[in-house]
Amino acid sequence: MVHTVDSNKSKYSVRQYSLAKKACKLQDIIGRPSTEDYRKYVEGNMIPNCNVTRQDILRAEDIFGPNLGSVKGKTTRQPTSHINITWTQVPEDILQSYRSVTLAIDIMAINEIPFVISISRDIHFGTAELVRNKTKKTLLVSMQQIVRAYHAIGFRVTTILADGGFECIRNGLADMGIMLNVASRNEHVPEIERYIRTVKERVLAIAISLPFTKYPPRLIAEMVYNVVFWLNSFPHKDGIHATISPRTLITGLAIDYHKHCKIGFGTYVQVHK
């Protein structure tokens, strides 16, 4: 919040800022009334000998925002609005032409935190999942979840491209009807390597804009998920459709400004609960 207050107070003189702080303190002392009621008390001289003015109150709210105690203590629970889900049917010609899907997968590490990450050829739908370890069981469960997402909409994963680290799940994939193609020693799958680079670049772009010197694992994971979400939300330049995004092709869901574009990642907010 320091950065926000600094930018707001730069619009006022030192004296005006000092009086705004005094107005905030007085509002706390008299029981944190609403700003409207607070102005009435001051304008009606209901606090004798008070030198806080209406302008001081307005400046205080402009600099510091609404009274924090009021926001957290007085806000009532609002009824949940009706959720409208925008579902888009995948065009039948796309489903027929690209029903068989080839996936490229790998392990991506950020600050030594492992993620199973995948990208599909042609469709260019990416996934990322935070994993505890790189054991056979963990990798196979992760792959089952990814494959299930494609099968739900009508696509079918037939081939998976990976490096030698995924050799341990070959039999498990074979039981699912999927062929594993492992790269040669010291070789990598180009599609997934390029996708990992893109994800890491965007995660770094978020990280350097946040006022932190250390990043908890949960925060790093959410940065990765945020990046993958937005990469999937717009059509790929080499994709199979000019206007339908990979996310819509696989999940049937489209983004909406009022749902997804209200606040950016890392925004500070004050909430009552």
Please write the tens of the pLDDT for every residue from 215-226. Answer: 999 999 999 999
Beta strands, E only, 26-134? 100-110, 113-120, 126-130
> Cβ atoms within 10 A of the Cβ of 116, count?
22
**pLDDT tens digits along 49-98:** 999 999 999 999 999 888 888 888 887 777 777 666 666 677 788 888 89
Question: What does the domain layout of the chain look like in residue ranges?
Answer: 2-73, 92-260
Q: What is the dihedral of CA 64, 67, 73, 74, to 10 degrees?
A: -130
Q: The whole model's pTM is what?
A: 0.77
Q: Which two tokens stand for residue 129?
A: 């999942």
| Residue among 121, 125, 129 nearest 103 (CA) | 121
Which token pair is 102? 């080839």
* Spatial separation of the C-alpha atoms in residues 37 and 121, rounded to whole Å: 61
Contact present, 249 and 94 (Cβ < 8 Å): yes
pLDDT of the residue at 83: 64
Let me know if domain 92-260 sits in CATH 3.30.420.10.
Answer: yes
Instruction: Output the pLDDT for position 246.
Output: 93
